[in-house]
Structure 1
Amino acid sequence: MNSSKRFALVAGETSGDLLAGLLLGGVKQRWPDLQSFGIGGPQMAAQGFEAWWPSEKLAVRGYVEVLRHYREIVGIREQLRRRLLAAERPDVFVGVDAPDFNLDLEASLKGAGVRTVHFVCPSVWAWRADRVEKIRRSADHVLCIFPFEPDLLARHDIAATYVGHPLANVIPLAPDRTAARATLGLRDENTVVAILPGSRASEVQYLAQRFFRAATLLLRERPHLRFVVPALPSLRARIEAEARMAGLGEALQVLDGQSHTALTACDVTLIASGTATLEAALFKRPMVVAYNMNWLSWQIMRRKQLQPWVGLPNILCGEFVVPELLQDQATPEALARAVTEWLDAPAKIHTLQQRFTSLHHALRRDTAQLATDAIEQVLES
């Protein structure tokens, strides 16, 4: 078997970079001389990936926010398309999530004879059913991270494989809270709240102040609380400024990344809706899910919503197992109250942890091997 393959990948944000990095690790075992290039981040770079643009360039959420960066993003996509169809033509293109960017690019590449794979099924079951036809035009194969998705896609003649969720293999079934707390300089007897306001600048803009004001209210009632806030390097200064404005002082610790350590160490997390909520579920942590965005973006998204839930733990469990406070509901007072309700309900937390353990088992598969097998079939078809 030829061990030299050329893979182009695009991962548009922190979660996509993590998934793509895990995928590349498996792919390199199958094709040791793999060349990989495109748009990505540090997890992909650690696997030898050549980033022509950093993944942060695509880390924009919300219709209005995307419009502000539209010309730059479209320009990057067109430059990438031309490069991939010229001297850098790959054996396969793998679009990792970022469907608004990747599906159009995949359609163009597929039309020119490049094999295309989309990793992470777009949430057609939650937000945009109209996207199904675009997926069919764009992707030769879809790698699904949730077990119900391949059957859904098969109804629309889209080839797909359930590969499990890579995070379910990275995150241990029984996280070591004591070790995580020692790493962060916290004691076992501390009550710890992890605050995760998101990995995008727009999320921090709309959520950080609300989360920190909620933390201030909690601290008034429970002076011994401790707060930990993972922060990407590019967002740390902004998060620290918001924390200072809230006056949390030594009760709050801003971390360099370390989101998994924070989730392992905490008793409960106040968290932005997104992939991080699934991570919190896999760490078996109770959470309060929140989101807030530009008003117009929210109105557009709300009209496209197909299910009553937004948070991934609720979607996967099929019910509100954790509270969701969205847009105008996400007031500091409501957020603080929801966190308090978890801290005062150990029996409810135990039940939730059992539910999340079952979910963890369902999502555990050899993702890298299953994904690599599927990609190999695409290359041979």
Structure 2
Amino acid sequence: MADLDTQAPQAPSGALSFGMVAGEASGDLLAGLLIAGLHKRWPQAQGRGIGGPRMAALGFDAWWPHERLAVRGYVEVLRHYRGIVAIREQLKQRLLAVPPDVFIGVDAPDFNLDLEASLKNAGIPTVHFVCPSVWAWRPERIEKIHRSVDHMLCIFPFETPLLAKAGIDATYVGHPLASTIAMTPDRAAAREVLGLDQCRPVVALLPGSRRSEIEHLVPRFIQAAQVMQQKQPGLQFVLPAIPSLVTAVQELVDAQGAVNGLKVLNGQSHPALAACDVTMIASGTATLEAALFKRPMVIGYHMNWVSWQIMKRKKLQPWVGLPNILCQDFVVPELIQDACTPEALAASTLAWLSHPDRVDALQIRFQQLHQTLQRDTATLATHALEKVLGA
């Protein structure tokens, strides 16, 4: 991408100006919730950087779309490395040319921590929203966080004491999704919105939001759906895809052959989770969303072989999925890499449909988890920012 003009409009006198980077669909959602809170405290606040449609709808000036950073896996990152580094350098220069009052990195730690270190060294206060999972992967990041971040906003309660041991200021703000997802989702209403039969079981297929994820997982998920349909013909399937990848997802679905009753949705992941009886889902933030919707799930994940060999050596816990990590138990199945076969995905998903007692017990665990994570995130985050800014 060509260099952009380094000049940016300054915020009105007395208004908060903030830089922000959110690197994918889940980051756009989290950032949008945070921006809404900032506007309550600073009505004329102006943000600029990298973001998605939710942020743009709140007046955020996105110099690059968040999809440019939505890459997962070591090999996949290497393929896009030069382009991502070029974006980061251009963004850094633009922020240094017209410094914001604060920079807030939303997730995307591989991109944001290096950027935050440069901005912090230049005297710009830095805040990071969503602690990198040093408790699950890559504990060496803790020193990098210390160098890069003035304050960490944590979405899980066990993170703040861990960071405190490393001398990093942090505030537990709860998980924003816990306040936006109803404690008791309305399944019937969601099915009506999506045009689904109220009386037939619904399976939601969520193969991720990154192109690399959907290329690995859509074929497996669709083949699993075909197996399930053979065994239980009355099933309905919904597959929400982020708007920018709907065409790519539909092409991958079509390449696998027909699945009767399958709907590829333009977005609408939350209605899909509210409507479903069970979900087959990629490891990531979406698994926590599924837990907050109290839906049983089967977590599947597959990536480039080299990326997997590197990642599995950095794994610190026996779990990959957030619901299992937070519950410290295998409350839902995880089928990762070689175990992520269509047959195994189908069998594990159908097992939930035939064991309602297991579903009931899981929903109780997920309700307790929901209550733990439910806080006034925007207000708590704003109070933390006030301390950082001395406002």
Which interval holds the TM-score relative to the shorter structure? over 0.9
Determine if contact 1:144/1:160 at 8 Å carries over to the other structure.
yes
Task: Give 1:275-354 correspondences, 5 Å limit.
Answer: 275-354=285-364
Partner amino acid, structure 1, of 2:89: E
Q: How far did 1:237 drift?
A: 1.5
8 A contact 1:126–1:305 mirrored in 2: yes
State whether residues 3 and 30 of structure 1, in contact with CA within 8 Å, keep that contact through their aligned partners in structure 2. Answer: no
* Structure 2 counterpart of 1:47: 58
User: 1:100 is matched with which residue: 91, 106, 110?
Assistant: 110
Please give the per-residue CA displacement for 1:12-43, whole angstroms capped at 9, x wherever unaligned: 00000000000000001100110100000011
The letter of the residue matching 1:274 is G
Structure 1: 5+ residue stretches without partners: none
Q: 1:121 aligns with which of 123, 131, 141?
A: 131
In structure 1, the residue matched to 2:212 is 202
1:151-204 Cα distance to aligned partner (Å, 9 max, x none): 000000000000000000000000000000001111221110000000000000
- Secondary structure of the residue aligned to 1:127 is coil
Identical counterparts, % of pairs: 65
Could you tell me how far 1:233 is from its partner in structure 2? 2.0
1:81-115 Cα distance to aligned partner (Å, 9 max, x none): 111111x2100000000000000000000001000
Amino acid at match of 2:18: F
CA contact (8 A) 1:292 1:326 kept: yes
Which residue number in structure 2 is paired with residue 4 of structure 1? 15
State the superposition RMSD in angstroms. Answer: 0.9
TM-aligned CA deviation for residue 236 of structure 1: 1.2
Q: Which amino acid aligns with 1:35?
A: Q
SS in structure 2 at match of 1:188: coil
- State the partner residue of 2:195: 185
1:147 to 134, 157, 161: 157
In the other structure, the counterpart of 2:8 is none
Say whether the 8 Å CA contact 1:268–1:339 is kept in structure 2: yes
**DSSP-derived class of the 2:15 partner:** coil
Match in the other structure for 2:93: 82
Deviation at 1:336, TM superposition (A): 0.4
8 A Cα contact 1:12 1:40, kept in partner: yes
2:236 to 223, 226, 241: 226
Q: Deviations over 1:209-265 (max 9, x none)?
A: 000000000000111101000011221112212222333344100111000000000
Residue 69 of structure 1 aligns to a residue in which SS? helix
Matching of residues 261-276 of structure 1 within 5 Å: 261-276=271-286
In the alignment, the residues of structure 2 paired with residue 249 and residue 267 of structure 1 have an alpha-carbon distance, to the nearest angstrom, of 18
Corresponding letter in the other structure for 2:356: P
Deviation at 1:281, TM superposition (A): 0.1
Q: Does 1:215 align with 2:237?
A: no
Superposed CA deviations along residues 247-289 of structure 1, whole A, max 9, x for unmatched, are 3344100111000000000000000000000000000000000
CA contact (8 A) 2:151 2:169 kept: yes
1:308 & 1:19 partners in 2: Cα distance? 27
Of residues 62, 74, 96 in structure 2, which corresponds to 1:63? 74
Q: 1:362 Cα deviation (Å)?
A: 0.2
SS at match of 2:50: strand
In 2, Cα distance between equivalents of 1:73 and 1:232 = 21
CA distance in structure 2 between the aligned counterparts of 1:365 and 1:47, rounded to whole angstroms: 22
Is this contact kept in 2: 1:216–1:246, CA < 8 A?
no
Contact 1:59 1:200 in 2 (8 A): yes
Question: 1 CA distance for matches of 2:348 and 2:248?
Answer: 25
Query: Structure 1 residue 3: deviation in Å?
Result: 5.0
Does the 8 A contact of 1:3 with 1:31 survive in 2?
A: no
Alignment partners' CA distance in 1, 2:297 and 2:372: 20
- Secondary structure of 2:140's partner? helix
Query: Quick check: 2:125–2:150 contact (8 Å CA) kept in 1?
Result: yes
Q: TM-score, normalised by structure 2?
A: 0.96
- Between the aligned partners of 1:249 and 1:214, the Cα distance in structure 2 is 10
Check the 8 A contact 2:300/2:340 in 1, yes or no.
yes
* More displaced 10-residue stretch of structure 1: 2-11 or 260-269: 2-11
Which aligned runs of 4 or more in structure 1 are off by greater than 3 angstroms? Answer: none
